[in-house]
Structure 1
Amino acid sequence: MKTEKEKMLAGEAYLATDPQLTADRRQAKKACQLINQGDYDDEAGRNAQLAALINFQGSFYVEPPLYVDYGYNILVGDNFYANHGLTILDGARVVMGKNVFIAPNVVISTAGHPLDKVRRAAGEEFVKPITLGDDVWLGAHVTLCPGVTIGNNVVVGAGSVVVHDLPDNSVCVGTPARPVKSLA
């Protein structure tokens, strides 16, 4: 029989209230709290805490506050920048390419709940991975929903909600976000 964590990592329905998952989230939230409340001038200390939480593959700069569910499901490429208020609900993998820039108050959510009210009330949850290609810029207050892939060289305009994959070399805006301009 699979544990709830194994179900989550396999992309199956799971119970987020599971003690192991609750402990994992608690550990990540404590790490975020230390990062967010730390000495702003201690960039080296903050970066060490961030690198212990998230798998960065190169240079990065993250403006606090930052919020994640687990941290261990996040993989970030070289030359990453996130402005204030980034929230990543990473029950599934979140993979970001190189040269990804994130404006303030962006939400990247791999997690969702069933439409069925009985399953939802019972605490069931699902996750779907999110992927961002290279050279992506997410504007302020963008929301990425479970399961989306954003191609290479994509700009997502402020306030957009991404519910479908977005193609390479495009400017995308709206709710739901859609391509409005080619960057090729």
Structure 2
Amino acid sequence: MLNGEYYDSRDPELIKIYHKARKLLKDYNNLDSELIQERERILNELFEHKAHGVWIEIPFYCDYGENISIGENTFVNTNCMFLDNNKIKIGKNGLIAPYVQIYTATHPLKASERIVQNKNESRYLTYTKPVTIGDNVWVGGNSVIFPGVTIGSNVTIGAGSVVTKDIPDNVLAYGNPCKVIKILE
């Protein structure tokens, strides 16, 4: 899966990780906001890496958690969804607005290549690409970041953007598809 090869999302090892993440997310999303130490404990158990000062509003959703790394002082606002079927790396001092979705999983475009049928069951071929977000990045609300995208450092992504391609450092970018609008100096 992490190598970008086709994989079975119902693999017993992945299902075990999925269920662990669901339990941790249920606990996290139902915690009183004042229980800071318990929030920290759960996020440290859920994520591959969580630096000092990371704050994640509830509810928060992800697939596995263990493929997510977040740098210091990054803030993730409410109702974000990180589909971490591959690595998601977010740098320090990030601002991730409400309803941001980060996807690492993808499928073949042609249905005949995507759907595998065995007896009475259909399976879907899935593969993944990592997502990397640099330092000091602000991703506006309701934005979607596609598999394989790298967003450079010191970037602002405007609200409602659909980020399908890499974005270089020090720019304002927005739109569907997201494109560089202005260089920020």
Q: TM-score range with shorter-chain normalisation?
A: over 0.9
Q: Is the 8 A contact 1:134 1:153 kept in 2?
A: yes
Matched residue, 1:3: none
Question: In angstroms, what is the RMSD of aligned CA positions?
Answer: 1.1
Matched residue, 1:79: 73
Distance in 2 between the 1:29 and 1:123 partners?
A: 22
- Of 42, 51, 57, the residue aligned with 1:57 is 51
Alignment gaps of 5+ in structure 1: 1-7
- Tell me the TM-score normalized by structure 2: 0.92
**SS at structure 1 position matched to 2:126:** strand
1:157, CA displacement in angstroms? 0.4
- Tell me the TM-score normalized by structure 1: 0.92
* Structure-to-structure mapping, 1:24-173, within 5 angstroms: 24-54=17-47, 55-121=49-115, 122-173=123-174
Partner amino acid, structure 2, of 1:13: Y
**SS at structure 2 position matched to 1:10:** coil
Q: Percent identity?
A: 41
CA distances 1:133-175 after superposition (whole Å, capped 9, x unpaired)? 1100000001000000000100000000000000111010100
Q: Is the 8 A contact 1:17 1:123 kept in 2?
A: no
Distance in 1 between the 2:87 and 2:176 partners?
A: 24
**SS at structure 1 position matched to 2:40:** helix
CA distances 1:14-72 after superposition (whole Å, capped 9, x unpaired)? 11121221221121111111100112221221121111111112221110011011111
Distance in 1 between the 2:58 and 2:104 partners?
A: 21
Partner amino acid, structure 2, of 1:130: V
- Of 10, 22, 38, the residue aligned with 2:3 is 10
Alignment gaps of 5+ in structure 2: 116-122
Q: Is the 8 A contact 1:157 1:171 kept in 2?
A: yes
